Amino acid sequence: MKSSYLILIVASLVVLGAITYMFTAAESPEDYIEKIETERERQFKYIRFNIESPLTEEQKQGLQSLTFYPIDPGYRVKARLLPIEIKKIREVPLTDGSTERYLEHSFAVFELGGKTNKLLLMQSLSESDMRNFFLAFVDETSGKETYGGGRYLNVRQDGKNSITIDFNLAFNPYCAYNPDFACPLPPRENTLEIAIPVGEKNYDK
């Protein structure tokens, strides 16, 4: 079973540019959509051609595209950061039954789908930039239109007490493509009771 540490390092590279795709007052909706589409194309090329891709050579040959929901700027939310005063190390279960250690850092609280939602933000113990967080979540699409083991986001604090979460950038863990990889499972706190019909859909084998 391949290391989840490698998964997160490579996954971070896949979406490294995604953090910069923030919809600002000076950016038009058209520019925002174009940037998301560019990121999706870059993600596809990485999965299809990169040596670190989770796909086997046979899978690469058959892959014509990744599947995404239509882009919806309404699923880019500004969340309030709720710090965890006594931060703890959590043993996060992986898909192969092993665990990996993460720091429980804070909660992101936001309004979406007519509900107040709260997601746990974690940090890898190897993370050097304290503004960067790993977010794994499941929602009402999980196991249906999206991967049953949840989807991931790499998010970055962009305000003193706030963080932007763009669900249009939600991507599949490597184990969605190849079960030989071990991936962190979303913590129980990160089960959303709403559908998130944006971001990457399930990989069509």
Token code pair at residue 105: 């850092």
pLDDT tens for each residue of the chain, 205 residues long: 665 544 444 444 444 444 444 445 467 889 999 999 999 999 999 999 999 999 999 999 999 999 999 999 999 999 999 999 999 999 999 999 999 999 999 999 999 999 999 999 999 999 889 899 999 999 999 999 999 999 999 999 998 899 999 999 999 999 999 999 999 999 999 999 999 999 999 998 6
The H-or-E segment that residue 4 falls in is helix 4-14
CB-CB contact of 199 with 173 (8 Å):
no
First to last CA, the chain: 20
2 φ/ψ angles, rounded to the nearest 5 degrees: -80, 150
Q: Are 9 and 174 in contact (CB under 8 A)?
A: no
User: What is the value of pTM for the model shown?
Assistant: 0.87
SS3 47: helix
- In 3D space, the residue among 95, 105, 62 whose CA is nearest the CA of residue 174 turns out to be 95
